[in-house]
Chains A and B, each alone.
Chain A
Amino acid sequence: MDYIFVLLSIVLAVLFVGGGLLVSRLVAPHHPGALKNAPYECGEKVFGSAHVQFNVGYYLFGLLFLVFDVEAAFLYPWAVVFREVGIAGLIEAGIFILVLVVGLVYAWRKGALEWV
């Protein structure tokens, strides 16, 4: 039943936004023009597309994020049962995190955390 509400709230989001857009479409003016629809570049004439090759720095952080977020997701079950597994669990999670911290230190030393 809980997940039925989750599904219904997806429907709600679609209806909420869709309804707003529909009403706006009915009451708002609609007069498109070549100049009006041009992308905004501070009033200058548009040159080139915005779909260009982009700074690789953003993707480096994306890769780092992937590693650490998955790691955090793995730690959730550990945190839930921590009271039962006790010190053995702490040591095991410690080893797990240590491996990742080594990775972080490596990325740090290699300069992957510097913004260029």
Chain B
Amino acid sequence: MVNLQTSWEVRTLSQRASEALAGGQLGLTTGYLFAGLAGLAVFLAAMALVLVYAERKIAAHFQCRLGPMRVGWHGILQSVADSLKLLLKEDIVPTDADRFLHVLAPFMSLLAAILVLVMLPMSPALQVADVNIGVLYVTAVSGLGALGILLGGWSSNNKWSLLGAMRAGAQIISYEVSATLSLLVVVLFSGTLQLSKIVQSQADGWWIWRAPGVGLLAFAIYLIASVAEINRTPFDISEGESELTAGFHTEYSGMRFAFFFLAEFINMFVVSALAATLFLGGWMPFHIGGLATFNAAMDLIPPGAWFAAKSAFLIFVIMWFRWTFPRLRIDQLMRLEWKILLPIGFVNLFLAAMAVLFGFYFFPVQ
């Protein structure tokens, strides 16, 4: 064990599947394909249940309440009961609504979330697929979510829905620019778009502090922009229950409402996991370049646990935001993006390029 960093070999599910295909084991190949899909479906449902419960509990404890306590031990089965109830509720399509688009919208919302999940590197052995244009793919695909919201809001033929959808559309596309610019900083540092390689490039230190200041600023911009992209408080003007009833999903009930809700929580996980992957080293343990004993001790904790811990922490931070910051008005929101975050993002990108050019960061890349 001379060099720890080289021991992180990534084997994705699609690699295993193509190896099985090359070896002529058709049964094994289809097995891998189905395992990937079943895993994703179970992960999706479990993650949504856990996150809804976590959100309610955390919200409660921030307000010195107990939250759900009745169903199961400390209300642990509350979200299961809620989803069963939603399943039994009537599904209403309002008169004059565009029926086709109204039904299509939840599909689009969830599709965007699932398509990103496929690429997430959760640990060296736990990643479904890994394309060489990872970051670009993720930014492109997550844009589909906005489409789901716009379709849902417009097709409902409800004034609240329309207002919420338009606000969400303007907000998501605006903040997308800042998020993309801050992701560019990481791409500059690591010189690759492939998500697993970006994680591997952080073996000596995570990008957030490896380049002094630049990484931290990019992380902060990404966090703000992505919280805005998933319509969470303080940027939840598209739902703003005190002014728009429920925003774009006012006219949704029963299962189709549940899928919008699900997509929202999965998006929260996806955003946190991406921030953890790109800036906080993903599944990479906490390493300090040169301290072999310390690094070896850190390697004892499995990579999957590192990934889960980092994502969970960021999810907690996003939930924390909700009880700390008041909601912004739409004009404030647009000013924050176009007049503050965007110029800072450009300057930061330039500084990052300078840092790479002159090797001005800790533990230089080989």
Contacts and interface: CB of A to CB of B under 8 A. Distances in A.
A24 B111 contact: no
B26 interface: no
Contacts of B167: 58
A62 B170 contact: yes
Interface in B156-194: 156-162, 166-167, 169-170, 173-174, 176-177, 180-181, 184, 187-188, 191-193
Nearest to A51: B157
B273 interface: no
B117 to A, nearest CB: 8
Given A36-B92, A61-B334, A79-B188, A2 B357 contact: no
A38 interface: yes
Interface in B75-113: 87-97, 103, 106-107, 110-111
Given A68-B342, A76-B135, A82-B188, A40 B160 contact: yes
Interface residues of A, number: 69
B115 interface: yes
B49 interface: no
Contacts of B254: 24, 28
A93 B44 contact: no
Nearest to A71: B177
B136 interface: yes
Contacts of B191: 79-83
Given A39-B97, A49-B96, A65-B176, 18 more contacts: A2-B129, A6-B115, A6-B129, A10-B115, A12-B40, A20-B255, A20-B258, A24-B87, A27-B87, A39-B157, A50-B161, A51-B154, A55-B166, A62-B173, A79-B187, A79-B188, A90-B353, A113-B338
Interface string A41-72: 11000000111001101100110110011001
Interface stretch (B10-18, B204-212, B281-289, B293-301): B10-18
B68 interface: no
Interface string A96-107: 010001001000
Nearest to B36: A5
Given A12-B41, A39-B94, A80-B193, A5 B259 contact: no
Interface in A6-29: 6, 8-14, 16-18, 20-21, 23-25, 27-29
A60 to B, nearest CB: 9
B311 to A, nearest CB: 19
Contacts of A16: 41, 44, 110, 114
Contacts of B177: 65, 68-69, 72
